[in-house]
Amino acid sequence: MGARRCSGCLSCLLIPLALWSIIVNILLYFPNGQTSYASSHKLSNYVWYFEGICFSGIMMLIVAAALLILERDTPYKCCQSENCSKKYVSLLSIVFSVLGIAFSGYCLVISALGLVQGPYCRTLNGWEYVFEDTAGSFLSDPSTWSQCLEPAHIVEWNIILFSILITLSGLQVTIALIKVIIELSKILCTTYSVIIQPGII
């Protein structure tokens, strides 16, 4: 019973994380609240991968909904025996949890690449990825951020939002991985109890 409650709480946590991912990804399209840069495609190319909106957002909401439905107290009669039905439900939960790891993992990787690449901004030489060849070293050297003249404070904007996306998707990966471990333990424990029961009798 405690394991079911813990598992249900983990699934519920995926919902606010997914909603925040959508919000943060949307903010990346509007530096300083301005829409002109998005309409003129003057944003980092990794912003257009929809990692937070689609994968860590909408897809994770679907995964969370599926997991919550599977964790309801309503019994599933997919097999003749109750143990078989429970294993089937646990197997489905593992499948959805693995999909969750894939979706949030995609967001994690793309956000990390966007963070390391740096923003697309206007410099004295025109619009370019001025930090693309620095391998992310610019992140610890704020004195170089002034090279980006427009949008204003775009470096800080990208660093903060991509970092938040990395954190959110990282938490989603962790939760989904814990879900896999919990469901695997349910399957293995049920199998073990069925094996040892005839010996006890």
Kindly state the percentage of the chain with pLDDT values over 70: 84
pLDDT value at position 187? 84
Give per-residue pLDDT as tens, 64-80.
999 999 888 655 555 55
Assign 121 to helix, strand or coil.
strand
* Number of domains making up the chain: 1
pLDDT value at position 188? 84
166 contacts 24 by C-beta, under 8 angstroms: no
The whole domain housing 83 covers: 1-197
172 contacts 86 by C-beta, under 8 angstroms: no
Q: What is the mean pLDDT of the chain?
A: 88
116 contacts 137 by C-beta, under 8 angstroms: no
32 versus 163: the higher-pLDDT residue is 163
d(CA 80, CA 103): 34
pLDDT at 44 exceeding the cut of 70: yes
d(CA 21, CA 123): 30
Give per-residue pLDDT as tens, 74-130.
555 555 555 656 788 889 999 999 999 999 999 999 999 999 999 999 999 999 999
- Residue bearing tokens 């959508």: 22
Neighbours of 65 (CB within 10 A): 14
